[in-house]
Amino acid sequence: MPETPKEPGRTIVVGERELAIGFRLIGLKDVVEVTPDNSVAEFEKAMSGDYALVIATQSIRALLSETERAAADASLHPLVVFVPTPSGEYEVESIEALAKRILGVTLTVAS
């Protein structure tokens, strides 16, 4: 009897109310609205869940310990993407850093 294909990895969004509403409006079901008090705990739950992609706000990243930040940045399953906070404050990850983190390659420009 052939094995049934597994459901592809799911995506979860963990963030403030404005972000949560936006992702719910586009049809994402796994969305967790957080406050500064519960954001780290909810992020940790998402990381230990059965998700392929965790989208979280950079405000959550700022609250993580150095070890948790490093683990999130190095994680490939789930892949973690931090997006700007609804307030507009954000830290931009360069294309080079993103390629190194996700693909494990270093981009260089020939001169």
Is 53 part of any domain?
A: yes
- Number of structural domains (the chain) is 1
Band of residue 85 on the pLDDT scale cut at 50, 70, 90? confident
Which pLDDT band, with edges at 50, 70 and 90, does 109 fall under? low
Residue 21 domain-assigned?
yes
Task: Write down the pLDDT at residue 106.
Answer: 73
pTM: 0.72
Residues sharing a CB contact under 8 Å with residue 101, sequence separation 6 or more, in sequence order: 73, 74, 93
Q: CATH code at 82?
A: 3.40.50.10580
Amino acid, single-letter form, for residue 36 = P
- The residue-averaged pLDDT of 40-67 equals 93
What is the rounded distance in angstroms from the CA atom of residue 63 to the CA atom of residue 69?
A: 9
Q: Please give the pLDDT value at position 49.
A: 82
